[in-house]
Amino acid sequence: MRITSKGQVTIPAEIREKAGLLPHTDVDFEFDGRHVRIVRAAHQKDEGRGARLVAHLRRHGGDVRMTTDEIMALTRGDE
């Protein structure tokens, strides 16, 4: 296995599964002067895809000043 020019390496699927390293899992690297170890971060920086989606909607949906009926009329093509 080689490290790419960007410093990336692929963790084999079998190891990811055994370690429970799912996509978007935060990890830390530990170096003892000789060996590098990848470990799951003590705390996750966010709560996953759902939390990111809700945060995005909160940032970008607060300026809409339409009623639900007005929004539904737009989606239906009512005039």
Q: What is the pLDDT of residue 55?
A: 76
- The pLDDT of residue 20 is 87
Distance CA 14, CA 2 (A): 18
C-alpha Rg value of the chain to the nearest Å: 22
Give residue 79's pLDDT: 66
pLDDT digit string (tens) for 15-70? 999 988 888 888 899 999 999 999 988 865 556 778 777 777 777 766 677 888 98
Q: What is the pLDDT of residue 3?
A: 93
Which one-letter DSSP state was computed for residue 57?
Answer: H
pLDDT at 56: 75
